[in-house]
Structure 1
């Protein structure tokens, strides 16, 4: 996700005034009933999640008093804004992942990981790999690109897909929630005036033990509890081209690391402009920012994968093979993209009601310690509107006046407060979170199982990270 997109989310989140003159109590009841109806439609009536989300979003908007003139635009903007972020990331990521799998690259990476860690430590190997891969890349894109490797390991070793996928998802969650250059921590750091470099240090100091305890160990416990989950064929049928030689480990690694390098370049460019006064019109910095935008980086990587993993091994004699691979990768994920967009629509409707702002402002006036207030406000906003980035940035904005009024706060304390805020923003993922639907559908999970796994791991990561960073805050105060 780009800095400009994060800024647009902040602007969206700032609109916390209710859409109509409904009382706070009425809005809260409306939100609770809407979520309950949505769960009944999906879990009991078995209505498709896409239709359920759209219908409930429309009804909630009407009941909450969103003006008729703004009704359709509210629904479509929530849907469109989410797709603007997710569709390209998922599409390019799915193509890249499918090419890596079909070329035999996923098997090469799986063999390498298993030879280094051993088959018994395969979940740990995938989780550690996800930590590194998730450092600069937005969660949705990184998870989709890693899926073929996770699928390949699960098929080879047998057992439930969740034993391998949930620890990887836990690693991605921790990195996305706590560590810059992800948009939530970066935006919260800027709003509260914290040093981003120090936030990285604190986030890793707190996040790594949090990942191991909750993102890895707890994920394994939950994966075993839910029972067997088969590997779906969402990225095409299993297996690669039999008559094509496997690529080398170096080529596969180049294809997968290229987007990381490009995104790191964009991050360095933004840092040079923001923190060191570099000329934002410098041609080199502009090029780095364009190439390092996550959709562009994934586009370049997927095209390179076509050339190195499909065209080159076949000496250019591929016919319509590349087109077939793209179709195989994109067609199965269209449903996921639509459900994800509808989840964004529902989140936007809840945001427009103003319920999140009402709750957050009440908490902000409650006189709690700053670090605790930021954590709780972020939780309230997360539950109300779904987006972790919006919850973290908005909570930071609400907390900013109190932080500014306390000149005794050190940079170390400010960094701890930022981490506490973004930790709260990752908790309680549910049906208004687009990531809830994206990850659940890619793993072939029903709604109840997604709650029992993805939501629990994310909430555990948030509370554990907060507990650790509060202890650190008390030590340095």
Structure 2
């Protein structure tokens, strides 16, 4: 669905957006209305208030909802199924033990974050987070303390890589719009992402974890067993004869667990590398390349991984396929609410985008008299806050500044720094119109207020750190 011609000026649209967010927060935090109901209700009222024709309101609502569900539902479903297998078989504990033995107990959050940075190179934020959840929960239960100490470093690592480093779609699209080198964006963006993660995520998460205690939720994976001496499967369903499965089984090897987790990384890497080479004209879009890219589609890659995990993890030690199916049923039940709330968050953001808030903002901000890199960060930040989508903020801001960047005769390094500044602005201030906000909120078992005090703060410090680093390099070169 294409954006609708704005019915009001930029100021009015911004006031409508601010009022919509305020009403939404009031309904969820004060009235205690269910987040899914509140999001759908406010989305409908916002569409009407913003001047979207009455006949187009249903389409406007389904636009953001269906787009978000299309990308999130399969990832969350497959990710939680995989996570449940890793948890029940003791695979998550094996990986956690290995990481801790390498880094030490005091560096457990660092270990999780480093692993997430590596896995986050080709994997999108939401896919990486759902695959890593059982490992995060296992480590948090083992050492105690707030879940934030372990969850935020990993989630922040995926967020940093997704926002700042090619081949993720946001920085790639911005680089293409500004005619910046994707290779140079990778070379410069990667160290900035790592340093920004360390300063803006790891150090901040330590402070947040000491101040705010978040218990490890049990809705997704239940009370995890220790797993170090094998797993005792007492909730894996019944065997084909109706007999409860209670046998103690040996946990899988570290190599098996690592292989399962690396499988989607490799498959998605096919897609990423081939797409980059085809876009650059190095390869032609042949049939074999299309097949490999299909295998590397995130949803297909996770589907293949779940099938492989079922064979090498699930059907071990006497489990039947019926037992594994029961495990999956128990894993999928609790995520229905997460998927619907995340989709409704996408609906709200979609309504804000279709109402013309983004175009109205860019038109009014295009003449700002300030340094191009500062202008890029501010515009991207305002677009991010107004409509929620980091990708939309990235691509819109890059398109807006492309002509100015061309006229300024910037160097290749400066163009890359401009991309990073835009990505930094599109990262900050994640809130209720961002589907990622709801994903983290529900996965970590946090209410809206706590998510604001933790996730929103961390995303903002991550973006500000990345912008500060890009600005320093800009001034030096």
Same fold (TM over 0.5): yes
1:351 maps to 353
1:307 maps to 311
Write out aligned runs for 1:196-207 (5 A). Answer: 196-207=182-193
For residues 84 and 197 of structure 1, the distance between their equivalents in structure 2, rounded to whole angstroms, comes to 30
For residues 214 and 362 of structure 1, the distance between their equivalents in structure 2, rounded to whole angstroms, comes to 31
For residues 209 and 366 of structure 1, the distance between their equivalents in structure 2, rounded to whole angstroms, comes to 30
2:380 maps to 378
8 Å CA contact 1:360, 1:380 repeated in 2: no
2:266 is aligned with 1:266: no
Secondary structure in structure 1 of the residue aligned to 2:280: helix
Write out aligned runs for 1:14-413 (5 A). Answer: 15=3, 17-18=5-6, 21-239=7-225, 241-242=231-232, 243-280=248-285, 282-311=286-315, 313-314=316-317, 317-406=319-408, 408-413=409-414
Secondary structure in structure 2 of the residue aligned to 1:276: coil
Q: CA deviation at 1:236?
A: 3.9
1:448 maps to 449
For residues 314 and 138 of structure 2, the distance between their equivalents in structure 1, rounded to whole angstroms, comes to 19
Q: CA deviation at 1:413?
A: 1.1
Q: CA deviation at 1:284?
A: 2.4
Secondary structure in structure 1 of the residue aligned to 2:210: helix
More displaced, 437-446 or 164-173? Answer: 164-173
Structure 2 vs 1, CA of residues 165 and 355 (structure 1 numbering), >3 Å: closer, same or farther? Answer: same
Structure 2 vs 1, CA of residues 128 and 392 (structure 1 numbering), >3 Å: closer, same or farther? Answer: same
User: CA deviation digits over 1:36-62, x for unaligned, max 9?
Assistant: 000010001100000000000011111
More displaced, 409-418 or 23-32? Answer: 23-32
8 Å CA contact 1:235, 1:332 repeated in 2: no
8 Å CA contact 1:16, 1:357 repeated in 2: no
8 Å CA contact 1:16, 1:351 repeated in 2: no
Secondary structure in structure 2 of the residue aligned to 1:432: coil
8 Å CA contact 1:440, 1:450 repeated in 2: yes
For residues 237 and 119 of structure 1, the distance between their equivalents in structure 2, rounded to whole angstroms, comes to 21
8 Å CA contact 1:155, 1:231 repeated in 2: no
For residues 26 and 279 of structure 1, the distance between their equivalents in structure 2, rounded to whole angstroms, comes to 48
8 Å CA contact 1:236, 1:332 repeated in 2: no
8 Å CA contact 2:137, 2:216 repeated in 1: no
Secondary structure in structure 2 of the residue aligned to 1:368: coil
Q: CA deviation at 1:405?
A: 2.2
CA RMSD, 1 decimal: 1.4
More displaced, 240-249 or 389-398? Answer: 240-249
For residues 361 and 370 of structure 1, the distance between their equivalents in structure 2, rounded to whole angstroms, comes to 16
For residues 472 and 319 of structure 1, the distance between their equivalents in structure 2, rounded to whole angstroms, comes to 56
For residues 174 and 437 of structure 1, the distance between their equivalents in structure 2, rounded to whole angstroms, comes to 18
Q: CA deviation at 1:134?
A: 1.1
8 Å CA contact 1:154, 1:231 repeated in 2: no
- Structure 1 unaligned regions, length at least 5: 1-10
1:414 maps to 415
Q: CA deviation at 1:220?
A: 1.1
Q: CA deviation at 1:114?
A: 1.0
For residues 46 and 104 of structure 2, the distance between their equivalents in structure 1, rounded to whole angstroms, comes to 51
User: CA deviation digits over 1:158-213, x for unaligned, max 9?
Assistant: 22211111111221121111011111111111111111110011112222211111
2:236 maps to none
For residues 359 and 221 of structure 2, the distance between their equivalents in structure 1, rounded to whole angstroms, comes to 40
Secondary structure in structure 2 of the residue aligned to 1:320: helix
Q: CA deviation at 1:319?
A: 4.4
For residues 276 and 475 of structure 1, the distance between their equivalents in structure 2, rounded to whole angstroms, comes to 33
More displaced, 352-361 or 265-274? Answer: 352-361
The TM-score, its normalising length taken from structure 2, stands at 0.93
8 Å CA contact 2:76, 2:127 repeated in 1: yes
Q: CA deviation at 1:371?
A: 1.2
Aligned residues, how many?
Answer: 458
The TM-score, its normalising length taken from structure 1, stands at 0.93
User: CA deviation digits over 1:242-273, x for unaligned, max 9?
Assistant: 12211010010010001111111111111221
For residues 342 and 95 of structure 1, the distance between their equivalents in structure 2, rounded to whole angstroms, comes to 23
Write out aligned runs for 1:431-446 (5 A). Answer: 431-446=432-447
More displaced, 25-34 or 245-254? Answer: 25-34
8 Å CA contact 2:373, 2:471 repeated in 1: yes
8 Å CA contact 2:85, 2:313 repeated in 1: yes
